[in-house]
Chains A and B, each alone.
Chain A
């Protein structure tokens, strides 16, 4: 469906060149959900923006980066080499890949009704007339559980509640019928109860429509509910990936272990929380060697701070980038 290989992204800034995403590879299977977890600044949003070529002008993909996508009609599309104003890219955005964002309020233009923006996308990608587009939009609003859709369709986003707005945002992203949905922290700005409803809705829609999904979050709890596979990112690199069940049950990377320990649970109410110590360094001050060694409780002096670790398969489904699991190379060094 979608495969990303050796993706590296750098930005030219006034302070010099920074590379917030380094050598990232992942694969989204048909009809499945890939969860990407990481703290803010880990490069998870930047990498998904690259999938739709939404990065600003000062961003550059490295020459070995590869983003391959199979369209609904079965064509192979090399997204990394599409021209910025090409028709393929226009069709891809919205028509093949849909995107929803963390801030539903800011994602809608305040001067057009929700229906106006939905019908624009529908007419762009489905080639239908005004009346039909409105019917499709209404159907979509009904599907995401917006009551009284016939009235809501002509409302502005600022006239809706937070949960409803996020539902409308999902309807908008799905209205053009994408085969892959990228959700960039769609539930972070919502109340916990509404968060659960929205997650439930997204899972249902995914099954009904047979979509693939990339779900970005910093919350491992959300990943457990929605993702089939998970990739854990730290400072622009995927440090561990695999089937959600395996990774969450037996995390191999000290960072994943730290994240799991930091989740409060009923059983540990009496204990203090265990946050991962320290702060994530800024991309311009990236540590040498393994980027996590400055915060890692198990760091091996003279190894982890020298050379970045390579990716090691630890089971059929999962892989990790950590010197602790790379006995051979450590001995060779």
Chain B
């Protein structure tokens, strides 16, 4: 103590006091954000997911080619990795080798063979296909490509029809993430209504709803989804199929969330401030929305984030077996449909790349969910 001069002590004390003041006066959301920020893995996961989301939103710009654009000169072609050096020396600008088509002497099929003598340089923002960014900004610039407009760059290879796997994955990211968002939103609205009614009314209503929820929970979920998607007429347009799929995913995601909302509502139904609001003549919808929900919004958000992976996995699984989204729509599941057999994976392993996206997205959501759960728990500060 003796070596601390009063002056120093005061400023240190003052700083500490200011810090505490800021802490005590911070809102619930600020506190959650502060705690979440300290969770390093969750922050990394958020960054990765943010990148994926950006990729999906600006798919037209990020993808060098359209999802169905074919390159007849490069069928089932392996990834072209931009390089700086080859046997003819090095260059400061990355390049790939040009491709020539030859006939295989044994099978007589035409195969694409890289021509080590020709170099095509990789450039940023080349002119390419005309697209509409965000659906309304016309442009022909893309993030990257080759400086020769006649040649195409396939950094992750092509499928059997010569479609660029990277471009398709980028567009698929948009579909898969957006279908997850819509599915979660739909299940949230459903859960809010069903769980809200059950938890607010209690008694007989609650019993009936609980029975119904149990029925949905007990049937194996993917086979159930499959039954609903199998019923979609074959002649439906891709848009119809897309929105029906979001509805199906949302329809069966609600039970867990509804249970949570119900039990939370039941537990605070008797609180004095809720009784006071009821006595003051507030309508049930206002009591639920304005007085009761805010007390556990944190938990709801955590549950929403955690239910994301299930949506994504379900969509992937259904599309994978042909009972979900259908080509020409591209989603991670649709892309993986082409990599269904061991033979395909052996010959064209790059078709399996979208699987990595599924795994990374699900991992990221799980880690963020865990981080949020810790951050939303007001008692975690004590530890």
Top 3 A-B pairs, shortest CB-CB distance = A288-B1, A14-B383, A305-B1
Which of B's residues lie within 8 Å of A, judged by CB?
1, 383
Specify which chain A residues have a CB less than 8 angstroms from the CB of B383 in the assembled complex.
14
Q: How near does chain A come to B265, taking the closest CB pair, in angstroms?
A: 30
Q: How near does chain B come to A82, taking the closest CB pair, in angstroms?
A: 32
Give the CA-CA distance A305 to B1 in the complex, in Å: 10
The A12-30 residues at the B interface (CB cut-off 8 A) are 14
Residues of B contacting A: mostly: loop
Give the CA-CA distance A310 to B166 in the complex, in Å: 77
Specify which chain A residues have a CB less than 8 angstroms from the CB of B1 in the assembled complex.
288, 305
Give the CA-CA distance A116 to B383 in the complex, in Å: 37
Q: How near does chain B come to A225, taking the closest CB pair, in angstroms?
A: 37
3 A/B residue pairs, CB under 8 Å, sorted by A: A14-B383, A288-B1, A305-B1
Give the CA-CA distance A288 to B2 in the complex, in Å: 11
Give the CA-CA distance A14 to B382 in the complex, in Å: 11
Give the CA-CA distance A82 to B1 in the complex, in Å: 40
Q: How near does chain B come to A290, taking the closest CB pair, in angstroms?
A: 14
Q: How near does chain B come to A28, taking the closest CB pair, in angstroms?
A: 36
Q: How near does chain B come to A87, taking the closest CB pair, in angstroms?
A: 37
- The closest CB in chain A to the CB of B2 belongs to A306
Q: How near does chain A come to B194, taking the closest CB pair, in angstroms?
A: 35
- The closest CB in chain B to the CB of A289 belongs to B1
Q: How near does chain A come to B20, taking the closest CB pair, in angstroms?
A: 15
Give the CA-CA distance A305 to B383 in the complex, in Å: 30
Give the CA-CA distance A104 to B163 in the complex, in Å: 71
Give the CA-CA distance A305 to B2 in the complex, in Å: 11
Q: How near does chain A come to B9, taking the closest CB pair, in angstroms?
A: 14
Q: Mark A296-319, 1 if CB is under 8 A from B, else 0.
A: 000000000100000000000000
Specify which chain B residues have a CB less than 8 angstroms from the CB of A305 in the assembled complex.
1
Give the CA-CA distance A14 to B1 in the complex, in Å: 24
The A143-157 residues at the B interface (CB cut-off 8 A) are none
Give the CA-CA distance A288 to B3 in the complex, in Å: 14
- The closest CB in chain A to the CB of B1 belongs to A288
Q: How near does chain A come to B168, taking the closest CB pair, in angstroms?
A: 47
Give the CA-CA distance A283 to B69 in the complex, in Å: 70
Specify which chain B residues have a CB less than 8 angstroms from the CB of A288 in the assembled complex.
1
Q: How near does chain B come to A211, taking the closest CB pair, in angstroms?
A: 40
Q: How near does chain B come to A301, taking the closest CB pair, in angstroms?
A: 13
Give the CA-CA distance A226 to B59 in the complex, in Å: 80
Specify which chain B residues have a CB less than 8 angstroms from the CB of A14 in the assembled complex.
383
- The closest CB in chain B to the CB of A305 belongs to B1
Give the CA-CA distance A1 to B1 in the complex, in Å: 42
Q: How near does chain B come to A11, taking the closest CB pair, in angstroms?
A: 14
Q: How near does chain A come to B99, taking the closest CB pair, in angstroms?
A: 58
Give the CA-CA distance A288 to B1 in the complex, in Å: 9
Q: How near does chain A come to B4, taking the closest CB pair, in angstroms?
A: 12
- The closest CB in chain B to the CB of A288 belongs to B1
- The closest CB in chain A to the CB of B383 belongs to A14
Q: Mark A1-43, 1 if CB is under 8 A from B, else 0.
A: 0000000000000100000000000000000000000000000
Give the CA-CA distance A254 to B1 in the complex, in Å: 25
Q: How near does chain B come to A98, taking the closest CB pair, in angstroms?
A: 33
Q: How near does chain B come to A101, taking the closest CB pair, in angstroms?
A: 24
Give the CA-CA distance A14 to B38 in the complex, in Å: 15
Give the CA-CA distance A160 to B200 in the complex, in Å: 37
Q: How near does chain B come to A288, taking the closest CB pair, in angstroms?
A: 6
- The closest CB in chain B to the CB of A14 belongs to B383
Give the CA-CA distance A288 to B4 in the complex, in Å: 14
Q: How near does chain A come to B333, taking the closest CB pair, in angstroms?
A: 43
Give the CA-CA distance A288 to B383 in the complex, in Å: 26
Give the CA-CA distance A41 to B1 in the complex, in Å: 25
Q: How near does chain A come to B230, taking the closest CB pair, in angstroms?
A: 47
Give the CA-CA distance A259 to B1 in the complex, in Å: 30
The A275-295 residues at the B interface (CB cut-off 8 A) are 288
Q: How near does chain A come to B211, taking the closest CB pair, in angstroms?
A: 31
